[in-house]
Amino acid sequence: MISETSPSSTVPDLFRNGMVIPAHPLALTADRTLDERRQRALTRYYVEAGAGGLAVGVHTTQFAVHGTGLLAPVLELAAETARGYDRPVALIAGVMGTTAQAVAEAELARSLGYDMVLLSPLRELAEDGLVERARAVGEVLPVIGFYLQPAVGGRPLTRGFWERFASVEAVVGIKVAPFDRYRTLDVLHGVVRAGRTAEVALYTGNDDHILADLVTAHRVVVDGREVDVEFVGGLLGQWAVWVHRAVELLAQARLARGGDDVAMRRLLSLDGHLTDANAAIFDSANGFRGCIPGIHEVLRRQGLLAGRWCLDPAEELSPGQLAEIDRIWAAYPRLRDDEFVAERLATWLA
């Protein structure tokens, strides 16, 4: 097993150094109730594949779990299963909604042993209100900001917002996922202007640009100063699948950033392949409507899930998406970890 962590490492240090953090899906039965056996199997897969953390209750888990009786057991299952391993696993709970709801969900996460929260944006609040909401949630647990793309519920946010957000002492990281290079730069500039590049870990959530984000040394110029900033890891829906390979890719990205030209060339050649695979799985051709069923389909093919079922019965693959997944499945075997999963699946499901 490849492991990003050691038993002597602390979660805050590991998080700052960078890790693979899968966005944890929701395993359901055909009647759309929680499939606890397969939910645990997914967690075991991620930990044994070498992921350093888990993000639960996030978009890939389906935002619809919030405000329902499912949120607490889903968070608890992941935490309990991860604690069965002899190394630290960063537990990140997705929280959302009004300030009161987000604080209450953070308190629930803290009671279950979570380390941090990933705070989803709220359309109804002005930017100043979002900053104050982060301060309130940060009184409960450390906060990871989330620049969510508008196609799946996010909103545009200014460079000045990210400076104010990064200045909040409880903010320890930002998942940068606008799927937009201009807006990605806004986050980088905001963190540099806040003077907190050493304290705020940047994680790519740009599923369309994963490897390029990870190998690029970003040099941000602010007020005549040049500051180097880098993405230390990924917190991704794409990394809900093929996680054993994802851990290998992050290790290669570290080598590339350190000057390994062979690793750099290899990853740049794979960047387009991974983006193409993501386009099929995430259904970019149809505005990402089939992204969660697409993730489920990959996990179903590997035997980790029994079906593609989502909480909303209408949430299914888009027309033509299945054929696209067939295409990328055949085209990019180097991105898959089918053999790793097949060797361990029976144990995970036991």
Residues 6 or more apart in contact with residue 193 via CB below 8 angstroms: 159, 163, 166, 222
What is the structure's pLDDT at 6? 53
| CA–CA separation, 60 and 69 (whole Å) | 18
In a domain, 310, yes or no: no
H/E stretch holding 256 reads helix 243-257
In a domain, 295, yes or no: no
pTM of the model: 0.95
In a domain, 194, yes or no: yes
In a domain, 318, yes or no: no
What is the structure's pLDDT at 150? 85
Domain count of the fold of the chain = 1
* Structural domain of 182: 11-245
Measured between alpha carbons, how far is residue 158 from residues 114, 126, 147, 163, 203 in Å? 30, 11, 11, 9, 18
In a domain, 292, yes or no: no
What is the structure's pLDDT at 4? 53
Per-residue pLDDT of the chain (350 residues; tens, 9 = 90+): 445 555 558 999 999 999 999 999 999 999 999 999 999 999 999 999 999 999 999 999 999 999 889 999 999 999 999 999 999 999 999 999 999 999 999 999 999 999 999 999 999 999 999 999 999 999 999 999 999 988 888 899 999 999 999 999 999 999 999 999 999 999 999 999 999 999 999 999 999 999 999 998 889 998 888 999 999 999 999 999 999 999 999 999 999 999 999 999 999 999 999 999 999 999 999 999 999 999 999 999 999 999 999 999 999 999 999 999 999 999 999 999 999 999 999 999 99
In a domain, 291, yes or no: no
For 260, counting Cβ atoms within 10 Å of its Cβ (0-12 exposed, 13-18 middle, 19+ buried), the class is: middle
What is the structure's pLDDT at 217? 84
In a domain, 343, yes or no: no
Measured between alpha carbons, how far is residue 342 from residues 301, 345, 348, 349 in Å? 11, 5, 10, 11
In a domain, 2, yes or no: no
In the three-class reduction of DSSP (H, G, I as helix; E, B as strand; rest coil), residue 304 is classed as coil
Q: How many CB atoms lie within 10 A of CB 54?
A: 25
What is the structure's pLDDT at 154? 86
Q: What is the CATH number of the domain that holds 228?
A: 3.20.20.70
Q: Residue written as tokens 């990140």?
A: 92
| CA–CA separation, 78 and 64 (whole Å) | 18
| CA–CA separation, 95 and 82 (whole Å) | 20
